[in-house]
Structure formats: structure tokens, C-alpha cells
Structure 1
Amino acid sequence: MTLDAVRESRPVWDPLVRVFHWSLVACVLLNLFVVEDGEWLHQWLGYGAAVLVGVRVVWGFIGSRHARFSDFFPTPRRLLQHLRALRRGDVEHHWGHNPLGGLMALALMATVLALGVTGWMQSLDAFWGVEWLQDLHEALGEALMPLVGVHAAAAIVMGRIERTRLVKAMLTGVKERY
């Protein structure tokens, strides 16, 4: 596919959204593949991830157009409309997140934030060694990885279906339709 084949492009993801995304990817991957559970680096990467999500939540209300939750909040109506269009084979174009992408973004942010909170709670005297909290933290960590896998696969598949370069857009900030 040459650049001549690009029909339309538009700046979509601002620098804060892209830095948030790739920094969160780094925190998650480092905690998954490099750092041992319970190590100080595991804890600080978790706190860093939670802070990133906190900043992103604020940006979801005051940020650029496609960063705002109002642009992609997955209401039941939006989700149903999108799912029906997919089932019919209609390709809906969304410059920002499509409704399923919005749902996934919110699910990922909620899971990372819950991991940060449950991890922090384990450091408090009131919850030190509490088994249900440790189990919840571990279950959230195990739930995060399938979510990440579905997110990554969906970015590739939906990019093909919608004829957009989603992964490239998360690097450059410019979404291209071809």
C-alpha cells in the first residue's frame, strides 16, 4: 500500500493520548515479563500505571476532541448500532474510537486502576496479608492480559475491516483511511 492509496487522513490522537498509551503498555509489559511480583519495581510500575490512568481520566474530560469520553463513550445505543452494522457487513467509520474500542479502552483503564488500588491497599496495615485482597489483585492481573490481547488483535482486525491504520495512528497521531 503506497501513500498514494491513502484517501483521507486526519490528526486524531494528541501527544498526551499517545504518551499515555505507550507508557501504559511499557508498565504492563515490564510487570508481566520482567519484574517479579512484590518487588519494589513491580509496585512502582503499578503506581505509575495508576497515575497514568488518572491523568488519562482527567484528559477524558478536558482533552482534545477524540480524547474526550463524550466522543467515544459506549452507550448501549451506540454499541447496538455498531454491532448491527458489523453483522450486516457495513463499515462504519469513526475517526476516534468505535463503540467497541471505547468499551475496551474503559475496561482496560478500569482494570489497571483497580490493580493499582488493590496493590496499594495490600501495603496498608489494615489489609496487610488479607488473602481475599491478594486473590482479587492476582485475578485482576490475570484478567488484564486477555483484555490486552483482545485489544491488540482488535486494533489489527478492525483496522483491516475499517480500512484504517490504527496502530500507525497510535504512533503518529494521524489516522489514515485507505
Structure 2
Amino acid sequence: MNTKPLQKVLVWDAPVRAFHWLIVLNFIGAYLTAEHDSWRQLHITFGYTMAGLVVFRLIWGLIGTRYARFSAFVRGPRQVLDYFRCLLNRQPGNDIGHNPAGALAIVAMLGMTILVTTTGYATYKEFGGELLEELHEGLANAMLLVVAVHIAGVLLSSWMHDENLVRAMIDGQKRGNPKDGIHSAWYSIALVLILAVLGFWWMQWRLPI
């Protein structure tokens, strides 16, 4: 039986990639500016931007392209455990989209972002006092840990699959059969997302909220 060799196909659309790198940029910015009072407005801007990006990702996870949808990668506990078991046996499955471990990390980071930005907003508005501020800081540190585990998982998966997953989140391409690829990158949506973020930053600089 003849099988077609795997080739580079488009898997991650442009909005997913733009979201990914924007959330990375804003998380780093928010974390680095957290302890400086003189950079408070910048910290708040990064936090608001992260909240807006998560709202976009939740919507795109419902209406986006094939591999962007939550229905394509959110797995149950048994599938996640099976994947980790395969990793221990050095027999990982070949997932064209997010693997179960990556999917778990993404869901965790989205949830953590919601909690971090919510407690950050409440702290900014002085709703909960020092206790809420400490909770906000603790959640931010916990999110940093999740991010570190995610990066380690990406590097491990890249090695085990012999495929650069970081580059895949830049150019959107992974190895697969031609039928596995998505048909459109939706660059227009990604451009709108980036312009919305830049526009919000400009508004924050002009009229901080």
C-alpha cells in the first residue's frame, strides 16, 4: 500500500500565532513591571491587554479554524494520562494539532490568565486589600510556573517528535498529510487583533484607565 510522505502543511492560523506571541509579550511585560510603582500604568496596560486577548481566544476557540477550536484539542483526563504514559515509554503519538499535554497547559494558562487579571483588576480598584493583592501575586507566580512547565514540554516534544514546535508557532506549519492542513491562515483577523492591541496601548498612553 502506497502512502504519501509527510510534508509541511499549515496547521496554526495567523490569529492563533498572533495571540500566542502577544500573550507571551504581555505576560513578560506585566511580570517585569509588577514591582515598580513608576511602571504601574504599564503593568495595568499589559494586564488589560491579556484579559482582552483571552476573550478573543475564547471566541476564536469556538469559531476559528480546525486546530484552533477547543473541540479539536481539549481532551479528557484518561487521554492526558495515556499520553504521559506513552511519553514515559518514548512512544508519543503524532498529533497534528496540540497534543493532550499541550492542550492541558493551554487550558491551564487561559484559566490562570483569567484569575490573574481578575484579581489584578480588583487589587487596582482596591476591592480586597492586601489579601487580594497577595493572591494576585501568588497566582502570577503560579502562572509563571505553568509557563515554565509548558516551555519544557514544548522542548521535550520537539526532541521526541524531531520537529521544531517553536518554529511551528511562527510559520504555522507542521508535518502532516496534505489533507490535514487548513485552507486559510486568516491573516486579516490576525492584523485586526494586532491593530486592536496597538490601538488600546495608544489609548492607555493618551487616556489611562
- TM-score, normalised by the number of residues in structure 1: 0.88
State how far apart, in whole Å, the 1-side matches of 2:33 and 2:12 are.
29
Q: Computing the radius of gyration over CA atoms, which structure comes out larger, 1 or 2? A: 2
Match of 1:53 in 2: 54
Deviations 1:1-26 (A, max 9, x none): xxxxx942221110100000000111
| Equivalent residue number for residue 111 of structure 1 | 112
Residue 175 of structure 1 aligns to a residue in which SS?
Answer: strand
**Counterparts of 1:132 and 1:32 in 2: how far apart (Å)?**
19
Unaligned stretches of 5+ residues in structure 1? 1-5
Cα displacement string for residues 68-108 of structure 1 (whole angstroms, at most 9, x for unaligned residues)? 11111031121122122222221200011100100001111
Secondary structure of 1:74's match? Answer: coil
Partner of 2:87: 86
Whether 1:16 aligns to 2:9 is: no
Note the C-alpha offset of 1:50: 1.0
* 1-structure distance, mates of 2:75, 2:119: 26
Q: Where in structure 2 are the equivalents of 1:6-155 lying within 5 Å?
A: 7-34=6-33, 36-37=35-36, 39-124=40-125, 127=127, 130-155=129-154
Which is further off, 29-38 or 45-54?
29-38
C-alpha distance after superposition, 1:122-161 (max 9, x if no partner)? 2335x15x12211110101111111111111211111111
Give the paired residue count.
170
CA distance 1:139–1:34, change in 2 (3 Å): closer
Which deviates further from its counterpart, 28-37 or 156-165?
A: 28-37
Equivalent residue for 1:3? none
Q: Which has the higher contact order (CA 8 A, sep 6+)?
A: 2
TM-score by length of 2: 0.76
Aligned residue identity for 2:116 = L
Structure 2: runs of 5+ lacking an equivalent: 177-209
C-alpha distance in 2 between matches for 1:143 and 1:168: 26
